[in-house]
Chain A
Amino acid sequence: MSNSQHLGRQIEFMPGNEVVAEAALAAGCRFFAGYPITPSSEIAHHISKRLPEVGGKFIQMEDEIAAMGAIIGASLCGLKVMTATSGPGFSLKQENIGFACMVEAPCVIVNVMRGGPSTGLPTQLGQSDIQQTRWGTHGDRPVIALAPAYLDEVYTETVRAFNLAERFRMPVFVLIDEVIGHLSERLEIPDPSELEIIDRVGPNVPPEEYIPYDSSQSDVPPMAAYFSGYRFHMTGLNHDRTGFPTTTQSICHSENVRSMRKVEDHIAEIEKFENYLTDDAEIGIITFGSSARAAIVAIDDARQRGVKVGMLRPLTLWPFPEQAAFELSKHCKTIIVPEANLGQLIYEVQRVTKGNSEVVGVNKVGGVPIYPGEVFDKIVECSGKK
């Protein structure tokens, strides 16, 4: 796409990674720092060309850790920011992700997942970072992770990632996998006027009255930018509402709990999922990303054979749509969780379905996506209609 001005809705045919970059620009991203890593690199390729065109800045940092630090720095100065990475790079970023949570810096981190552990399968698919996204950095912190499966969703969910980051002052993850990042398909890009764009809330008090973590009105404290005339301190240490370090147990505890509430108390606003033929389902499928694209084909085939199967597809992996999964489990004797790993999301499904259903995985690693036939076979096996 060479033109930055969309006139009305535009039909495009482009790869997922470029969709991420274009959506970020539409959301207002004006700073990107990254480090080369497959299979996410095309996001950096595309945005390094496009950002200067809109007056933004791209920098390729010396390592993944540096890229994460740079986007937090630019965010604290008031810009909307993003980085993109894959498996090993995501591991490297974890400490600074925790820092962004601690100082409550809005930022978007895209992880185009590949096979692992370690260097693993750099150019091939994996859905290997589901639990790393939830638990990767040390300590307790809220998590929002979006997992679009189709490229029009990649666009809208990337925009939403920026909105959620700004709204809740926290890192937001976009988890796609190698297949979604590299496939090209037709998508409809909304006119900019149709997009909801959310900006962080600034202070409504003069600098001398500003308290950086004043949560008296909201669990999301109003945020001043550095160099805006408001002088304040931020630290990765536990801190009180003034932003200065404290070791007072009651304050450390209550501030940590407050940060968790930013997500826990706004589930309805954050959570997103899609139900496909679940109303009468006796077998449920819960999956996401490229595995969901395979599952939907398998479901259609199984329905033709008379198997009552349907799918809950979370677009937010974190927070996981607990209630929707629980409802599904009430009428499904079996829930199948296909994922291109050896069993990660399945732990969450088992937890939230509270034993209502037998929960079984369809798991495959080694670099190729889960195929429709593999999900179909599991559906047939679970239905007893061999």
Chain B
Amino acid sequence: MPVSLKLENLLRMEHLPHMWCPGCGIGIIVKAMLRAIDAMGWDPRDVAVISGIGCTSRAPGYLNMNTLHTTHGRALTFATGFKLARPDKQVIVISGDGDATAIGGNHLIHSCRRNIDITEIIVNNNIYGMTGGQYSPTTPLGAKAATAPWGMVEPSFDIAKLCIGAGATYVARGHVGSGVQLERLIRGGLKHKGFAIIEALSNCHTQFGRRNKLSDPIELINHIAAKTINVKEAAKISPEEMRGKFAVGILFQEEGREEYCEAYNRLIQRAQATLH
């Protein structure tokens, strides 16, 4: 995979260095996203990147595109307004696990259901990083967090399964141990006409790792990578063997289901036909 030398055109260099902790996985994921955008050959003036609140949500500020940093959990609602206003343009949302699946969970499932042509990248690092390490809907059972000093007692969401169940037509999962694979999965989402989710398993060694004996970023990235299994391999093993593992790759893809803006445009044509 050739590394593009043009990524600087997609960055607001004057706003770097970024505010993330050294070793944070968000940088790997944003780079994979930029390479995917570059590979699509899109004019950055035609691309919007919208976020909510959290560490991940600071990404748009560094990107030389149409960027909007909104309220906690609500990025998809603003993105829906963007896409309906300009169906001819590209709309990407980037969120953390708390932003996307806790406070923003309602918007996530309904965006899946509508099949609106937005690509959302969910950086899943199993914790609320920016606010100080509180547990999120994806913090593993037993793991410690600022608000789970005795260990997490709530079961986790499987984000990919949640989105498939809610009707997303492209669902993929990658991890920070493989930026190349992430780029390929994101590119698949960008190409896909309809609502696309790419869950990127990521490391927060500062807030998650520090409390769970994984405070070294490389160690935590390796720990995450060791829990992943290629989706084709995953299909060959039993549910018992899959326990604690995460299938990575394209987990679900359905082409041909009508995209929301296209359906709405047909509705407009029908409404206007009745006037003439």
A binds B: yes
Known A53-B271, A74-B81; 13 more pairs at CB < 8 Å: A55-B272, A66-B74, A74-B84, A226-B66, A226-B68, A227-B66, A227-B89, A231-B64, A231-B65, A231-B67, A234-B67, A235-B68, A237-B69
Q: Find out whether the CB atom of B68 lies under 8 angstroms from the CB atom of A70.
A: no
The secondary structure that dominates the B interface is helix
Interface residues in B58-108 by Cβ distance below 8 A to A read 60-61, 64-71, 74, 76-82, 84-86, 89, 106-107
By a CB distance below 8 angstroms, the chain A residues around B192 are: none
Would B78 and A72 count as touching, CB distance under 8 A?
yes
Most B CB contacts (10 A, CB to CB) among A75, A99, A227, A245 go to A227
The 3 closest A-B pairs by CB, nearest first: A73-B81, A69-B77, A52-B271
Q: Name A58's closest neighbour in chain B (CB-CB).
A: B264
B15 within 8 A of A: yes
- How near does chain B come to A210, taking the closest CB pair, in angstroms? 12
Docked complex: A208-252 residues within 8 A CB-CB of B: 226-227, 229, 231-237, 244-245
Residues 3-23 of chain B, each 1 if its beta carbon lies under 8 Å from chain A, else 0: 000000000100100000000
Best-buried of B46, B69, B76, B109 by chain A (most CB within 10 Å): B69
The closest CB in chain A to the CB of B83 belongs to A73
CB distance from A377 to the nearest CB of B (A): 47
Among B61, B80, B106, which residue has its beta carbon within 8 angstroms of that of A63? B106
7 residue pairs A–B, Cβ–Cβ below 8 Å: A49-B271, A52-B267, A53-B274, A69-B70, A69-B81, A77-B82, A235-B61
How far is B50's CA from A234's CA once the two chains are assembled, in angstroms? 10
Interface size on B, residues (CB 8 A): 41
Say yes or no: is B268 at the interface (Cβ < 8 Å to chain A).
yes
- Beyond A31-B84, A33-B81, A235-B69, whether A227 also contacts B45 by CB under 8 A is yes
A positions within 8 Å CB-CB of B: 4, 31, 33, 49, 52-53, 55, 57, 59, 61-63, 65-79, 81, 95-96, 99, 103, 226-227, 229, 231-237, 244-245
> Which residues on the B side are within 8 Å of A233 (C-beta)?
12, 60-61, 67-69
From A74, A75, A81, A99, contact of B71 by CB (8 A): A99
Q: Identify B68's interface contact among A62, A234, A245, CB under 8 A.
A: A234
Contacting residue for B74 out of A96, A227, A237, CB 8 A: A96
B264 touches A57 (CB 8 A): yes
| A31-B71 Cα distance, complex, nearest whole Å | 21
Shortest Cβ gap from B178 to chain A (Å) = 30
Name the one of B61, B64, B86 contacting A244, with C-beta atoms under 8 angstroms. B61
- Distance in Å from the Cβ of A22 to the closest Cβ of chain B? 16
B217 within 8 A of A: no
Q: Do residues B68 and A76 form an inter-chain contact, with CB atoms below 8 A?
A: yes
How many Å from the CB of B86 to the closest CB on chain A?
5
Main secondary structure of the interface of A (DSSP, over half): mixed
Which chain B residue shows the least CB distance to A75? Answer: B81
Task: Encode B101-119 as 1/0 by CB contact (under 8 A) with A.
Answer: 0000011011000000000
Residues of A with C-beta under 8 A to B81 = 31, 33, 69-77, 81
Q: Nearest CB to that of B57 among chain A residues?
A: A235
Is B46 a contact partner of A66 (Cβ separation < 8 A)? no
Binding site for A on B (CB under 8 A): 12, 15, 44-46, 48, 50, 60-61, 64-71, 74, 76-82, 84-86, 89, 106-107, 109-110, 264, 267-268, 270-272, 274-275
Contacts of A70 in B (CB 8 A): 77-78, 80-81, 84
A223 to chain B, nearest CB (A): 14
A73 touches which of B44, B60, B77 (Cβ 8 Å): B77
Tell me the bound Cα distance from A241 to B272 in angstroms: 43
Q: Point out the residues of chain B lying under 8 angstroms from A75, CB to CB.
A: 81
Nearest Cβ on chain B to A45's Cβ, whole angstroms? 15
- Which of B12, B15, B46, B80 has a CB less than 8 Å from the CB of A227? B46
The closest CB in chain B to the CB of A5 belongs to B275
Tell me which residues across on chain A come within 8 A of B109, comparing CB atoms. 62
- Smallest CB separation, B266 vs chain A (Å): 10
Bound together, the chains give a CA A296 to CA B197 distance in angstroms of: 59
Evaluate whether A53 and B272 lie within 8 angstroms (CB atoms) in the complex, with A62-B110, A233-B67 already known.
yes
Tell me whether B77 and A65 are in contact (CB under 8 A). Answer: yes
Contacting pair B84 A226 (CB below 8 A) = no
- Report Cα–Cα, A75/B80, bound state, in Å: 12
A300 to chain B, nearest CB (A): 45
Most buried by B among A33, A68, A71, A236: A236
- Check if B61 sits within 8 Å of A245, measured CB to CB: yes
Residues of A within 8 A of B76 (CB): 66
A62 to B15, CA, bound (A): 35
Contacts of A55 in B (CB 8 A): 268, 272
Contacting residue for B275 out of A4, A234, A235, CB 8 A: A4
Per the bound structure, the CA–CA distance linking A210 and B60 in Å amounts to 18
Within the complex, the shortest CB–CB distance from B145 to chain A, in Å, comes to 25
CA distance A70 to B76 in the complex (A): 8
Across the interface, name the chain B residue whose C-beta is closest to A33: B81
Contact of B85 among A52, A53, A73, A234 (CB under 8 A): A73
- Considering only CB atoms, which chain A residue lies closest to B82 in the complex? A73
- For A68, what are the chain B residues with a Cβ–Cβ distance below 8 Å? 77
Report yes or no: B80 in contact with A76, Cβ–Cβ below 8 A.
no
> B69 contacts A73, CB within 8 Å?
no
In the bound complex, what is the Cα–Cα distance between A282 and B71 (angstroms)?
Answer: 50
Q: Could you tell me the distance between the alpha carbons of A57 and B109 in the complex, rounded to whole angstroms?
A: 21
Q: Are A236 and B85 in contact (CB under 8 A)?
A: no
Most buried by A among B44, B50, B270: B50
